[in-house]
């Protein structure tokens, strides 16, 4: 029984060390750090980050899911092209493109 506690404690210690190394706000991530996130969680990182300001506070209570669905592949592609650049700048740039497209579409209607 003591052996199980030792193994659990060792695993807990290792996991804590890993978490401590990654406690960095997404606003300060590089694209390489973003791409290191499991692919199934990358959209969730983008949704969450899209709802945050650079200071880490919520921008609002809602996230534009339709817009975010368009932003996800844009950010992933841009980050793959330039892994050393800022994830935050790629995210902001993608949102600006989506907003500009929405404005130009609105003018056409």
Mean pLDDT of 34-49: 94
Tens digit of pLDDT for each residue in 51-109? 876 555 655 556 677 788 899 999 999 999 999 999 999 999 999 998 888 888 766 65
Which of the two residues, 19 and 82, has the higher pLDDT score? Answer: 82
58 contacts 52 by C-beta, under 8 angstroms = yes
pLDDT at 103: 82
CATH architecture of 24-108: Orthogonal Bundle (1.10)
First to last CA, the chain: 71
Report the alpha-carbon distance of residue 50 to residue 74 in Å, rounded.
13
Band (pLDDT 50/70/90 cuts) for residue 14 is very low
């Amino acid at each position: 029984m003591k052996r199980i506690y030792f193994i659990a404690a060792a695993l807990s210690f290792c996991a804590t060390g890993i978490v401590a190394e990654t406690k960095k706000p997404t606003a300060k991530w590089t694209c390489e750090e973003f791409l290191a996130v499991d692919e199934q969680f990358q959209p969730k990182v983008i949704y969450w980050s899209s709802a945050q300001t650079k200071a880490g506070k919520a921008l609002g209570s809602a996230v534009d899911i339709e817009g975010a669905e368009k932003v996800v592949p844009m950010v992933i592609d841009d980050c793959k092209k330039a892994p050393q650049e800022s994830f935050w700048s790629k995210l902001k740039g993608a949102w600006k493109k989506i907003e500009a497209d929405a404005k130009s579409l609105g003018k056409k209607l």
